[in-house]
Amino acid sequence: MKSFSCGLIALVVAFASSAQAQSFETKEQNKIPDHAFVPVGFDSNDNSQIVISGFYPNGCHKMGPTFFTVDKTNKKIVIEDKELFASGAICTMQIQPYKKVINIGLLNAGDYTITAKGENEEEVVKNNINVSLAQPNAPQDAELYADVYDLESKLTDDGATELKIRGFLTNTCMKLDRVRAEIQDGNVLLIVPTVTLEGQDCERTEIRFSKVVKARLSDKLHLVHVRANNGQSLNEIIQNGSIVHTY
């Protein structure tokens, strides 16, 4: 028995030493995302956004940079999402979800095809984005939005998804008007917290608020896209009422 124990310890030590001495090379390679979510409602004055998500299969994969090009002539956006891969390493069997918000910036009005470039330079169509023409002489959105910094999600007893957003108003004349939720095509839930301006002699301040909205969603992955002030947004991936925690 003692001989067996010593042999087992020696085997473990040898394996650990082999793992430490193991040589591996970190490589950068293209990864085609599982999903490319596109909120509806961007116009030619907006910072258009695409949210990509997927899973890394084990601990040897991690997030790399993301690049994109816009072909304005052919109305096409090509995403090149990179992952870093430790080639030749012993990997932990841990599946890790990831999410990236890609700020495309200003786009001319039109319908754009979104493709993702694979490792062999092949392009896979993932979605499309429609950009409407902004109203003339309207440099800002028709609605004013609150600042939003946090989102919680849970499944209620009746099967609805309950979402609580937290945010703040930035001056004493701002009043939270309403928070509306809209289920869009492509498994996107849009949440819009609008504010109104009332009174004069406004003073800078920070008035915090929280608001709950409910929606009935399928059991598929959904993007929750919360519009916010200054062209910002809060984006989370949820499924069955829970936020999918990502990098």
- Note the pLDDT tens digit of each residue in 133-171: 988 766 566 789 999 999 999 999 999 999 999 999 999
Name the percent of the chain lying above pLDDT 70: 89
Range of the structural domain that residue 188 is part of: 144-243
Last residue of a domain, one of 96, 131, 166: 131
Count how many domains the chain has.
2
- pLDDT digit string (tens) for 202-223? 999 999 999 999 999 999 999 9
DSSP H/E element including 212: strand 204-215
Q: Is residue 54 part of a domain?
A: yes
| pLDDT at residue 8 greater than cutoff 50 | no
| pTM listed for this prediction | 0.85
Question: Is 30 within a domain?
Answer: yes
Nearest to 188 by CA among 232, 160, 218: 218
Q: 105-140, pLDDT tens digit by residue?
A: 999 999 999 999 998 889 999 999 999 998 876 656
Inform me whether the pLDDT recorded for 6 exceeds 60.
no
Would you say 102 and 119 are in contact if contact means Cβ atoms under 8 Å apart?
no
Nearest residue to 31 via CA among 116, 102, 92: 116
- Asked which of 131, 158, 181 is the last residue of a domain, the reply is 131
Q: Examine the domain organization and report whether 107 and 202 are in the same domain.
A: no
Give which of 156, 157, 158, 165 is closest to 189, Cα–Cα. Answer: 165
Q: Is residue 201 part of a domain?
A: yes
- Of 8-17, 51-60, 191-200, the poorest mean pLDDT is in 8-17
pLDDT band at 20 (very low <50, low <70, confident <90, very high): low
Average pLDDT taken over every residue of the chain = 89
pLDDT of residue 135: 83
Domain-terminating residue out of 72, 100, 131: 131
Does 18 map to a domain?
no
3-state DSSP call for residue 61?
strand
In the predicted model, is pLDDT for residue 74 greater than 60?
Answer: yes
Greater model confidence, 6 or 195: 195
Is residue 35 located within the same domain as residue 123?
Answer: yes
3-state helix vs strand vs coil in the chain, percent to 5: 10, 55, 35
Average pLDDT over residues 62-86: 95
